[in-house]
Structure 1
Amino acid sequence: MTQSNEHPRCILALDLGTTTGWALRSHDGLITSGTASFRPGRYDGGGMRYLRFTNWLTELDRLSGPIAAIWFEEVRRHAGTDAAHVYGGLMASLTSWGELRGIPYEGVPVGTIKRHATGKGNAPKQAMIDAARAKGFSPEDDNEADAIAILLWALDARGCAA
């Protein structure tokens, strides 16, 4: 996923969950990050969180894109069944959204991200936050810190710098 022209491509990194961390490297090279909540409302149907997530991706693509590639944290084990269901639903929404638009996407194993950011594949949440801060970012939580780490990994390890 490299590019030969002098303008960087828009790259999106995501830490999928009810509170999704995101980091985006725009065409001008500026990196922005944050979190987005997809917690269901009291009267929401079961699919509303996924519809809101899809709409959020579309708006992000419209305002900051076009998004050229998406990297996300690939989680293989979850602490609970609900977390696993939410992750699976968000990943299905993300991958179908990417497929519809021809945007390549790839999961990055948790250990790979943690090792790249901290040197330890099993680094705790605070270490990820500290690593992002050491690089000059100000993540509000571990979700945003993880998204920043995924983006920095993609830029370093996958040659997405161009």
Structure 2
Amino acid sequence: MKILALDIATKTGWKTETASGVWDLKPNRGESSGMRVVRFKSKVKEIIQIEGITQVSYERPAGANKSSIMAESEMIGVLIDLCIEMGVEYASYSANEIKKFATGKGNAGKPEMINAAVKLGYNPIDDNEADAIHLYLLTQKDLG
């Protein structure tokens, strides 16, 4: 099973078997907010094709920030449509599930998530990449 794990946001953390990182999808000056979705779809499609991804896992949106949840939900809709179109399985996990897996605490903070990734030998750019790393490992565990 070839996994792509995504912590979806304007700064999207991602992890595959061979690499990980963060995509900054913030629209440039003068661009519509829809460019975030266009860039996201393009990057996901490229990785699926290049790495032969068969499973995409993503963190479900949550929180009190309405605009963030709306933006993430738009990207998730595009992601699901793309997965169906390309014949790729997909699954979602809550932030609490990912945090509990990584640190043993469902309410771990960003520094704890980064430190947990470092302890595993990773060097995440930020908490978005750290979350994607842990989501990748959690998906791997769940798939056996």
Query: TM-score if structure 2 supplies the norm length?
Result: 0.95
**Residue of structure 2 aligned with 1:125, choices 96, 103, 110:** 110
Q: Does 1:51 align with 2:43?
A: no
Q: Does 1:74 align with 2:90?
A: no
**1:41 aligned residue:** 28
**1:19 aligned residue:** 11
Counting only pairs closer than 5 Å after superposition, residues 1-162 of structure 1 correspond to structure 2 as 9-25=1-17, 31-63=18-50, 65-75=51-61, 77-159=62-144
In 1: Cα distance, 2:107 partner to 2:13 partner? 19
Q: What secondary structure sits across from 1:12 in the alignment?
A: strand
Query: TM-score if structure 1 supplies the norm length?
Result: 0.85
In 2: Cα distance, 1:131 partner to 1:44 partner? 37
Structure 1 runs (4+) greater than 4 angstroms displaced: none
Write out per-residue CA displacement over residues 75-102 of structure 1, whole angstroms, 9 at most, x where no aligned residue.
2x32312111111111111111101111
Unmatched segments (≥5 aa) in structure 2: none
Larger-gyration structure (1/2): 1
* Partner AA of 1:61 in structure 2: I
Q: What secondary structure sits across from 2:58 in the alignment?
A: strand
Question: How many percent identity over aligned positions?
Answer: 35
Q: What secondary structure sits across from 1:67 in the alignment?
A: coil
* Partner AA of 2:126 in structure 1: D
The Cα RMSD (Å) is 1.1
In 1: Cα distance, 2:38 partner to 2:131 partner? 23
Unmatched segments (≥5 aa) in structure 1: 1-8, 26-30
In 2: Cα distance, 1:32 partner to 1:120 partner? 26
